[in-house]
Structure 1
Amino acid sequence: MEAEKRRGGGEKEDMSHVIHKVPAGDSPYGRAKHLQLVEKDPEMAIVWFWKAINAGDRVDSALKDMAVVMKQQDRAEEAVEAIKSFRHLCSKQAQVSLDNLLIDLYKKCGRMEEQIELLKQKLGMIILGEAFNGKTTKTARSHGKKFQISIQQETSRILGNLGWAYMQQNNYDAAEVVYRKAQMIEPDANKACNLGLCLIKKGRFDEARAVLEEVLHRRYPSSDDGKIISRAEQLVREIELQPAVSPLEVGLSIKEEIMERLDLVMNEWAPFRSKRLPIFEEISTWRDHIAC
Structure 2
Amino acid sequence: MKMMAMKKKSSSSSEKDDLYHVIHKVPQGDSPYVRAKHAQLVERNPEAAIVLFWKAINAGDRVDSALKDMAVVMKQLNRSEEAIEAIKSFRTRCSKQAQESLDNVLIDLYKKCGKVDEQIDLIKRRLRLIYQGEIFNGKPTKTARSHGKKFRVSVKQETSRLLGNLGWAYMQKSNYLTAEVVYRKAQMIDPDANKACNLGLCLIKQGRFDDAGSILGDVLQGTIPGSEDNKARNRARELLMELKAFQPPLELSEIMGLDDHDFFKGLELLMNEWAPIRSKRLPIFEEISSFRDQLAC
TM-score by length of 2: 0.75
Task: Summarize the alignment of residues 131-142 of structure 1 with structure 2, pairs less than 5 Å apart.
Answer: 131-142=135-146
Deviation at 1:191, TM superposition (A): 1.0
Residue deviations 1:27-82, cap 9 Å, x none? 11111111111111111111111011111111111111111111111111111110
Secondary structure, in 3 states, of the residue corresponding to 1:148?
strand
Greater RCO between the two (CA within 8 Å, min separation 6)? 1
Deviation at 1:145, TM superposition (A): 3.5
Residue 179 of structure 2 corresponds to 175
**Which one of the candidate residues 219, 230, 241 is aligned to 1:215?**
219
Residue 48 of structure 1 corresponds to 52
**Which one of the candidate residues 22, 28, 31 is aligned to 2:32?**
28
Relative distance call for 1:187 and 1:50 in structure 2 (3 A) is same
What CA distance in whole angstroms lies between the structure 1 residues aligned with 2:142 and 2:50?
31
What CA distance in whole angstroms lies between the structure 1 residues aligned with 2:152 and 2:78?
31
- Is residue 176–residue 205 contact of structure 2 (8 Å, CA) maintained in 1? yes
- Give the % identical residues: 69
Deviation at 1:128, TM superposition (A): 1.1
Deviation at 1:137, TM superposition (A): 2.8
Moved more, 77-86 or 202-211: 202-211
The count of residues paired between Structure 1 and Structure 2 equals: 242
TM-score by length of 1: 0.76
Unaligned runs of 5+ in 1: 247-292
Secondary structure, in 3 states, of the residue corresponding to 1:187?
coil
What CA distance in whole angstroms lies between the structure 2 residues aligned with 1:140 and 1:243?
42
Secondary structure, in 3 states, of the residue corresponding to 1:200?
helix
What CA distance in whole angstroms lies between the structure 2 residues aligned with 1:25 and 1:234?
50
Residue 204 of structure 1 corresponds to 208
Residue 267 of structure 1 corresponds to none
Residue 228 of structure 1 corresponds to 232
What CA distance in whole angstroms lies between the structure 2 residues aligned with 1:79 and 1:183?
32
- Is residue 110–residue 116 contact of structure 2 (8 Å, CA) maintained in 1? yes
Deviation at 1:13, TM superposition (A): 6.2
Deviation at 1:9, TM superposition (A): 9.3
Secondary structure, in 3 states, of the residue corresponding to 2:150?
strand
Task: Summarize the alignment of residues 6-155 of structure 1 with structure 2, pairs less than 5 Å apart.
Answer: 16-155=20-159
What CA distance in whole angstroms lies between the structure 2 residues aligned with 1:18 and 1:210?
47
Unaligned runs of 5+ in 2: 1-5, 251-297
Deviation at 1:135, TM superposition (A): 4.6
What CA distance in whole angstroms lies between the structure 2 residues aligned with 1:177 and 1:44?
45
Residue 263 of structure 1 corresponds to none
- Is residue 193–residue 226 contact of structure 2 (8 Å, CA) maintained in 1? yes
Letter aligned with residue 59 of structure 1: V
Deviation at 1:242, TM superposition (A): 2.3
- Is residue 203–residue 245 contact of structure 1 (8 Å, CA) maintained in 2? no
Residue deviations 1:94-113, cap 9 Å, x none? 11100010011111111111
Work out whether 1:193 is the aligned partner of 2:197: yes
- Is residue 70–residue 79 contact of structure 1 (8 Å, CA) maintained in 2? yes
Secondary structure, in 3 states, of the residue corresponding to 1:19?
helix
Deviation at 1:119, TM superposition (A): 0.6
